[in-house]
Amino acid sequence: MSLAKKSSIIIILLALAAAGAVGISRHMHRGITGMGEEFAQKISDKIGFQIGLAPKPSWVGQYLSGYHATSAKDYEKASDYFSGSLNLRADSETLQTQAMSLLLVSGKFSEAVQIAKTMQKTNNGLARLTLIVDAIQNNKLDEAERLTTDQKGDAGTIINHVIEAWIKYGKGQKPEAENILKSLRKSDEAFLPFVDYNYALIANLSGDKKTATELYDSLVKIAQLPNSIVSSAYAFYKDQNNAEKLALIKSKFNYDGAVSKHPAVTNVKQGVAEALLGVGSIILTEYSPDKSAALFRLALYLNPELDDSKLLLGSILMTEGDYKGANEILSGIKQDSYLGDYAKLAIAKNFEAMDDDTKAKQYFELLTQNKETAIDAYVSLGDLARKKESYQEAADYYTKSIAIATAEAKDGKIAAKYWALYFARGVCYERLKDMDKSEADLLAALKLEPNQPDVMNYLAYTWIDDGKNLAKAKDMVLKAHEEKPDDPQITDSLGWAYFKLGDFNDSVDKLEEAATLLPYDPTVNDHLGDAYWQTGRKNEAKFQWERALKNDPEPKLAESLKKKLENGIAPDNAATPTQTSNAG
């Protein structure tokens, strides 16, 4: 199998959810020999665009520098550039908002507050929220309250009203606080759990146990809850000696209070931080990472111990490619935190993304000792070995992950989500030329995840390339193509199946489609050249072979291309219907 047919199995380790859970996802991309992990994409222009400024800098130059630094995911540098441009053009609200947001994300609160102060007349939602949080942090509750109520149709009314309720509570106006939250319960249903949680916290702190009980009882009926609510509800029911509800939480959410899942909320600052975390998480589900990142930072400004905010903020920076910034945030999560090992798993992934495989491996090896992270750690060690083309070592690591998953299996049936483990090991065995083991693993993956297009494509192409099970392979890749009709790799496999079966006209149609999508893939160009040759289009065939040769093919393919350019394809090397009719 050519280099272009190699597979990179993506194991995404960090789920972007308020619960802070770590999960597994995966994709297969043929033609990538690097890491493959979604959180491990290398950004070549990490530093950002270098621009030569005139002796007297213009605000446009500073803005463009900030823009390019942002594009390169260097938020620290971007915030500096945008701040510099503000000194020259302070009347641009767009620029001010961008600079303020970047300053918040990079943790430069005092600078962000200074910009927010210049924007008070604009009724800018983020500026107002920044000033509210700063006032609360400095115990200026009257000023914070004025800012929450002195607004004109601000889009962020839910968060402002919840914060206003916390301020009322902090000022001893408990009935007023509860009235605000009571009225909010009639608003957008999507925000109801968020409102009820803050209402329950304030009711409990105010001594209104009856209302708090009703709210927590309603919350624990929800199928999935963030760790913050689960932990808070457990602590509340424990204080109430409510054994029935404690048992419910243990069975439904797998939480028994042995390890605190979330810091307790006991004061206004912690309450507002909780509100910011909640809204940030809701916004994140709609994929607004820039807004969420600013809210998570504001939450940490008020409560530096809020590990959920650190994990979520770190995950945003990871997906945006700011691996160094992500590690700075994630390293603030202590080992004894319930998110400690998850944070280390993400840190290791970031080191891998920064090509520091030595540090990444050290972290992964430590994490194999924890049952909650062992599978992910062994998979990641396998990925590191596979990156170095140490396929036997990689297969051994994947075997360990499969053994743990098997041991966890109920009734001896391994969970379907682990199909990717067999896929990854099957790819390694294929590279080791152990085709029996490879085929067994690929079939095992399909047994767990039937009709998985990437696995079907890989197995079918292996058969096609070996001239084995051609009719079955064609049916399999046709099914894969139905699942992912726009995937160029699968389209190429289908075209190659037609070629091997001697259906050269259909082969040309599909291979031309694949070449349009992947114009610089040497394998696709090689395949198309072969198909052109068999249909008599010999000049076009040579053009495709030359093109393939120019695009860094594997040595074996390069040698084949040179021979074909000199001699073409001998008749006895071409597939024909007669040759292939017995291959299935």
Section 308-314 average pLDDT: 89
Q: Which residues contact 539 (CB under 8 A, 6 or more apart)?
A: none
Section 48-65 average pLDDT: 30
Position with higher pLDDT, 289 vs 519: 519
CB contact at 8 A, 507 and 499: yes
Whether residue 294 is predicted with pLDDT greater than 70 in this model: the reply is yes
- Out of 143-157, 279-293, 447-461, pick the least confident: 143-157
CATH number of the domain at 43-122, out of 3.20.20, 1.25.40, 1.20.1440, 1.10.150?
Answer: 1.25.40
Over residues 151-187, the pLDDT tens digits come to 644 445 788 999 999 999 999 999 999 999 999 988 7
Whether residue 211 is predicted with pLDDT greater than 50 in this model: the reply is yes
Q: Token digits for 289?
A: 């990472």
Whether residue 341 is predicted with pLDDT greater than 50 in this model: the reply is yes
Q: How much is the pLDDT for 410?
A: 78
Whether residue 434 is predicted with pLDDT greater than 70 in this model: the reply is yes
Rounded to an integer, what distance in angstroms lies between the CA atom of residue 343 and that of residue 318? 12
Over residues 108-130, the pLDDT tens digits come to 899 889 889 988 877 788 899 99
pLDDT band at 269 (very low <50, low <70, confident <90, very high): very high
Q: Mean of the per-residue pLDDT values for the chain?
A: 81
Q: Nearest CA to 129 among 299, 285, 270?
A: 299
Over residues 525-556, the pLDDT tens digits come to 999 999 999 999 999 999 999 999 999 999 99
Which phi and psi angles does 444 have, rounded to 5°? Answer: -65, -40
CB contact at 8 A, 526 and 557: yes
In 389-521, which residue ranges form alpha helices assigned H by DSSP?
391-408, 419-431, 435-448, 453-465, 470-483, 488-500, 504-517
Q: Token digits for 160?
A: 């402002």
Class of domain 451-584: mainly alpha
Rg of the chain taking only CA atoms, in angstroms: 29
Rounded to an integer, what distance in angstroms lies between the CA atom of residue 570 and that of residue 318? 52
Q: Are domains 43-122 and 451-584 of this chain identical in fold? A: yes
Q: Which CATH architecture has domain 123-305?
A: Alpha Horseshoe (1.25)
pLDDT band at 399 (very low <50, low <70, confident <90, very high): very high
Q: Which CATH architecture has domain 1-41+334-447?
A: Alpha Horseshoe (1.25)
Whether residue 26 is predicted with pLDDT greater than 80 in this model: the reply is no
Rounded to an integer, what distance in angstroms lies between the CA atom of residue 419 and that of residue 215? 40
Q: How much is the pLDDT for 265?
A: 94
Over residues 29-49, the pLDDT tens digits come to 222 222 223 322 221 221 111
Over residues 551-578, the pLDDT tens digits come to 999 999 999 999 999 999 987 555 443 2
Strand partners, 410: 413
Which phi and psi angles does 410 have, rounded to 5°? Answer: -90, 135
Section 296-322 average pLDDT: 89
pLDDT band at 324 (very low <50, low <70, confident <90, very high): confident
Rounded to an integer, what distance in angstroms lies between the CA atom of residue 318 and that of residue 467? 43
Whether residue 77 is predicted with pLDDT greater than 60 in this model: the reply is no
Q: How much is the pLDDT for 285?
A: 67
Strand partners, 413: 410
Over residues 245-266, the pLDDT tens digits come to 999 999 998 888 877 778 899 9
Cβ neighbours around 216 below 10 Å, total = 26
Over residues 413-430, the pLDDT tens digits come to 888 989 999 999 999 999
Whether residue 345 is predicted with pLDDT greater than 80 in this model: the reply is yes
Q: How much is the pLDDT for 411?
A: 76
Percent of the chain with pLDDT over 70: 80
Q: How much is the pLDDT for 66?
A: 47
Strand partners, 28: 9
State the angle between helix axes of 323-330 and 340-353 in degrees (0 to 180), rounded to the nearest 10: 160
Rounded to an integer, what distance in angstroms lies between the CA atom of residue 570 and that of residue 181? 80
Question: pTM (2 decimals)?
Answer: 0.68
Three-state SS for 443? helix
Q: How much is the pLDDT for 155?
A: 41
CB contact at 8 A, 198 and 274: yes
Strand partners, 9: 28
* Domain ranges for the chain: 1-41+334-447, 43-122, 123-305, 451-584
Whether residue 325 is predicted with pLDDT greater than 60 in this model: the reply is yes
